[in-house]
Amino acid sequence: MSATIDDTYAEAFRSIYASVLITARDRYWLDKAVQAAAGNASSTILCDCEAGLDRYVPEGETPDQRPGAVVQFHVPRFHKDRESRLERSALVRVSQNVMTCPTTAVFNVLDASGSWCASKEPPKPGGKWFPLGRKLAYFGDGHQYKSERFGRACWVVPILSGEFVCERRIGFADGLMGGNLWFFGATADAALNAATKAATAASEVPGVILPFPGGVAASGSKAGSKYKFSIASTYAEYCPTLRGKEGVTSRLPEGVTSVQEIIINGCDLPTIVKATQAAIAASKDVPGLLTISAGNYGGRLGKSFVYLHPEKQPA
Q: What is the pLDDT of residues 64-121, one digit of tens each?
A: 999 999 999 999 999 999 999 999 999 999 999 999 999 999 999 998 777 776 566 6
pLDDT for position 223: 86
pLDDT at residue 233 tops 70:
yes
CATH topology of domain 4-11+176-312: Alpha-Beta Plaits (3.30.70)
- Answer whether 53's CB lies under 8 Å from 209's CB: yes
Q: What residue ranges in the chain does DSSP mark as E strands?
A: 4-5, 9-23, 50-57, 68-76, 105-108, 128-130, 145-149, 152-159, 162-167, 170-185, 208-209, 221-223, 232-234, 258-266, 289-293, 304-307
In our burial notation (b when 16+ CB lie closer than 10 A, e otherwise), range 274-291 reads bbbbbbbebbbebebbbb
pLDDT for position 119: 64
pLDDT at residue 281 tops 70:
yes
Query: Does 14-173 match 4-11+176-312 at the fold level?
Result: yes
Q: Considering the chain, what is the average pLDDT of its residues?
A: 94
- Answer whether 134's CB lies under 8 Å from 157's CB: no
pLDDT band for position 44 (50/70/90)? Answer: very high
What is the pLDDT averaged over residues 28-42?
98
Domain ranges across the chain: 4-11+176-312, 14-173
Nearest to residue 237, comparing CAs of 247, 227, 224?
247
Cα–Cα distance between 171 and 127 in angstroms, integer? Answer: 7
Cα–Cα distance between 165 and 268 in angstroms, integer? Answer: 30
CATH number attached to the domain at 14-173: 3.30.70.520
- Answer whether 130's CB lies under 8 Å from 169's CB: yes
| Cα 161 to the center of its chain, rounded Å | 30
pLDDT for position 118: 59
* Phi-psi sector, 262: left (phi>0), alpha (psi -120 to 50), beta: beta
Tell me how many degrees the CA angle 104-110-113 measures, rounded to the nearest 5: 170
Task: Calculate the dihedral angle through the C-alpha atoms of 274, 259, 44, 306, rounding to the nearest 10 degrees.
Answer: 30
Cα–Cα distance between 190 and 12 in angstroms, integer? Answer: 26
pTM above 0.85, yes or no: yes
Q: Which residues pair with 167 in a beta bridge?
A: 154
